[in-house]
A and B are shown apart, each in its own frame.
Chain A
Amino acid sequence: MFLVDGINGAVFAEVLRLLIYTSYSLSRLIIALIISYVFGILYGIAAARNRRSESALLPILDVLQSVPILGFFPAAIFFFIAIFEQSWLGIELAAIFLIFTCQAWNLAFSTYESISSIPNDLREVSNAFHLKRLSRFRNLILPACVPKLVYNGMMSWAAGWYFLVAAEIIILGSTKYNLPGIGSYIAESVYSANIIGTIIGLLFLILAVLAFDILIWRPLRNYAENFRYEPVIIERTKIRSFLPTSTLARISSLTPRLALSSQYLPKRVPSRVRDIAGSMHYVTKKPTTFLTKHGRFLFFFSLIFVILIVIIISIQKVLFYIPILPRISESIMRDILLIQELSVIPIALGSSLIRLLLAYVLSVAWTLPLAVLIASKRKNFGTNMFIIQVFAAIPATAIFPIIILATIDLPGGIQLTSVILTMTGMQWYLLFNLIGGMIAIPSDLIETSNMYKLTGVNKWKKLILPAVMPSFVTGSITAWGGGWNALIVTEYIVFGNDIFAVLGIGALLDIAAYEQGSVGLLLLIIVVMVATIMIINKLIWRPLYNYVLSKYLME
């Protein structure tokens, strides 16, 4: 009797702990995503302002985007942990900052792209109606950005999950900070070979991803459909009708009912709750006002409150702890000696490049056919997207040990394993972009190729490949960016007491950060890596992108 109770109690406690952990991780991701959105939108607007700010801000963004999450480690450690004296808040903020660094950049890019591609007539009409500042932002800028912001937000969200483990386990010198969260929970379970813990952890994670997709992304995807320019009525009707009919999308048809029910809430329910429930359906409904008056007030009030607190605390801490900083930088002197033996960097860089190339080819090999298949099955599109969303959001880093065990004995050994791990950081960018490109093929072209019975090789050559070419290149650029970022977790994996490492620039970065704890070395490797990425961008991706845009873009 007692024993059973004891077990039940333990299970209950464990489930409760996991629930709390999941909500911690979710809060971190949500806060980081909100900050990313604010940053991305403001930065994108600033960059799209005029040619001069564009030429100043876009290269900075290029650099920031190519710096892997570990590259922001020194900044996070210096700033947050040092300032907050290694307190819980400092580590927490460092984690949020690290998640932010893998979510923000593509949002800034997509804002910039959306604003630059606003049709001229819409610009002119808003000039003619003297739309200024806030009303211009609300009526022209923001609506134009909504579709890309929603889809990129989904990608950022997935990226946040991917690097969750890296962000929740912060290592500072010899001290390891394990933040309570689902990412660190799964990682710890896997590392200690706790199979049940791993499975339950993954289950909770998938549930969280599911819930977030149903409650947030799906309504937002529907909402974003209202902001597209294309005038093809038949396709639109189809798209709108299939989303709510798929079983998982019922929620968006549920929100109006929720709004209606807010009128019948008991009297003692505070009016604020009533207002929030009543305004829920705006998220899924027409693009009129996004928040009600009260909702807007609440939102701005809490935003200002949070910002004020952050400002006050940081000013106080900065003033107090500035004298500490020089002590940390003493270690840089030591690192300068280390750097002289770094002839291994070029070789590591070369092998990382080969690894990325292989992972890229393998990713293309499976994502391209799948994207075509998914786009052609419009009926189940919502459900299929959802399944992909779930897979993409599983923080692959947490299950790396499982992948390692499954692939280490294959021919190719640890090198192949590392390529497969690297794929997990590249493939989703490709898949999402390719599906986006396939969906955007104008219906008249599809009808024409159906009419003339384009099939097989001819269909690929004349319709599919040219039509997805722009998104293919965009997807490739982001996939390579993701790949470079992923190298730090795919070339060097700590598994229990074992370390799986292959020669590569990412592994070097880890050694610098974790084993040597040397900021100087870390910075040098990051500079080499960023320089390489920028040279590749300049020499390969930019020209390719311009060529593809001039040849394959729809009018």
Chain B
Amino acid sequence: MASLVDMQNVSHAFGKLRSDLILDKINLSINEHEFVGVVGPSGCGKSTLLRIIIGLTKPTDGAVYYRGERVEDICKRMSMVFQTFALFPWLTIFENIELGLQGKPFSKSEKRGRVLKTIEFMGLNGFEEAYPRELARGMKQRVGLARGLIPDPELILMDEPFSSLDALTATHLREEVLDLWLDPSVAPEAVIMVTHNVEEAVYMADKIVIVTSKPGKIAKELEVTLPRPRDPRSNELYKIVDEITGLIA
């Protein structure tokens, strides 16, 4: 398997002190066709890790390579989904999703067609002209996902995508994301999902990266070989969950 992302000795700090160190010498490879879950206690630098991969944050030290090329600027072939949805309150749902096509060489009508198709696909019909504040949280994250998917990225980064949803909505949306992942016509090459929910990570991911805090270090990488579709309440799944929880705590 060819590796998609390579992080080499990546460290990041917000200040000069030792206690300001967020990430300490991270080495990580993400392969094609891999759904990676990054778990760890809150404040361990998981979110910073994602932002460094996409190029939103420049690491203090070390380098990130995407298909062998060093990531210097924000990488165009990746896209990100936020815990807080990051929807522009003054733009309609249509305009919010259209933002994902910013700078793509499509004509106006082509863009419109693509946005409408994505809206249809994500089950957002009828909300085109609505504003984010009129939507329930689950629907907002659908818009976030639609905006993340529409540029047709090779890698999708998800930062706690289900954490601000209620349990029932989160369960539904998880299923939908997995359906997307298993549908070869729309699936990206790889997904990296940051979460503090270990069950969620084991249920969804092929590989789990466990990050410990202060400073953030990779404690272990773990392949999850359970066959899909997985049973979220099976004993096998919980055995892995317990192993990971033990490592974090």
Contact = CB atoms under 8 A, between A and B. Distances in A.
B90 interface: yes
Interface stretch (A48-56, A314-322, A458-466): A458-466
Contact of A453 (B88, B91, B102): B102
Interface stretch (A62-70, A234-242, A256-264): A234-242
Interface in A223-257: 233-234, 237-238, 241, 245
Nearest to A469: B90
A450 B89 contact: no
A448 interface: yes
A554 interface: yes
B86 interface: yes
A241 B20 contact: yes
B118 interface: no
A454 interface: yes
Most chain B Cβ neighbours within 10 Å, of A447, A466, A553, A554: A447
B174 to A, nearest CB: 21
A466 B91 CA distance: 9
Contact of A245 (B15, B43, B51, B95): B15
B91 A462 contact: yes
B100 to A, nearest CB: 6
B56 interface: yes
B48 A448 contact: no
A445 B86 contact: yes
B102 A555 contact: no
Given A451-B80, A452-B99, A453-B103, A552 B14 contact: no
A448 B90 contact: no
B74 interface: yes
B51 A551 contact: no
Contacts of B99: 448-449, 452, 454, 462
A119 interface: no
A453 B74 contact: yes
A245 B20 CA distance: 13
Contacts of B54: 451
A442 B84 contact: yes
A249 to B, nearest CB: 14
A552 B100 CA distance: 21
Given A442-B84, A552-B90, A451 B20 contact: no
Contacts of B88: 445, 448, 462-463, 466
A341 interface: no
B52 to A, nearest CB: 12
Nearest to A453: B103
A238 B14 contact: yes
A552 B86 contact: no
A234 B48 contact: yes
A422 B151 CA distance: 50
B133 interface: yes
B162 to A, nearest CB: 16
Contacts of A447: 51, 56, 80, 82, 86
Contacts of B84: 442, 444
Q: Chain B's interface: helix, strand, loop or mixed, by majority?
A: loop
Nearest to A552: B90
Given A451-B54, A451-B74, A555 B133 contact: yes
Contact of B90 (A233, A458, A466): A466
Most chain B Cβ neighbours within 10 Å, of A445, A448, A463, A466: A448
Interface string A436-480: 000000101101111111100010001100100100000000000
B74 to A, nearest CB: 6
A451 B88 CA distance: 14
Given A234-B47, A452-B99, A462-B99, A444 B89 contact: no
Most chain B Cβ neighbours within 10 Å, of A442, A444, A469, A552: A444
A548 to B, nearest CB: 10
Nearest to A463: B88
A241 B14 contact: yes
Q: How large is the interface on A (under 10, 10 to 19, 20 to 34, 35 or more residues)?
A: 20 to 34
Given A454-B102, A466-B88, A444 B82 contact: yes
A442 B48 CA distance: 16
B89 A553 contact: yes
A233 B103 contact: no
B35 to A, nearest CB: 21
Contacts of B91: 462, 466
Most chain A Cβ neighbours within 10 Å, of B102, B132, B133: B102
Interface string B1-34: 0000000000000110000100000000000000
A68 to B, nearest CB: 36
B212 interface: no
Contacts of A237: 14
Contacts of A448: 80, 82, 86, 88, 99
B79 interface: yes
Interface string B37-53: 00000010001100100
A452 B48 contact: no
A361 B133 CA distance: 33
Contacts of A551: 90
A451 B79 contact: yes
B102 A458 contact: yes
Nearest to B103: A453
B102 A233 contact: no
A38 B64 CA distance: 55
Contacts of A554: 89
Contacts of A552: 89-90
A454 B88 CA distance: 13
A121 B74 CA distance: 38
A241 B22 CA distance: 14
A469 B88 CA distance: 13
A458 B183 CA distance: 34
Contacts of B151: 452
Contacts of B76: 453
Interface string A466-498: 100100000000000000000000000000000
A238 B76 CA distance: 26
A233 B43 contact: yes
Contacts of A469: 90
Contacts of A444: 82, 84-86
B79 to A, nearest CB: 7
A554 B95 CA distance: 17
A451 B102 CA distance: 10
Interface in B62-90: 74, 76, 79-80, 82, 84-86, 88-90
Nearest to A232: B84
Interface string A53-96: 00000000000000000000000000000000000000000000
Given A452-B151, A453-B103, 8 more contacts: A241-B14, A447-B51, A448-B88, A453-B74, A453-B102, A466-B89, A551-B90, A552-B89
9 contacts: A448-B82, A450-B56, A451-B54, A451-B56, A452-B102, A452-B151, A458-B102, A466-B90, A551-B90
Instruction: Kindly list the 7 A-B residue pairs having the minimum CB-CB distance in the complex, ordered from nearest.
Output: A444-B86, A466-B90, A452-B102, A448-B86, A241-B15, A444-B82, A237-B14
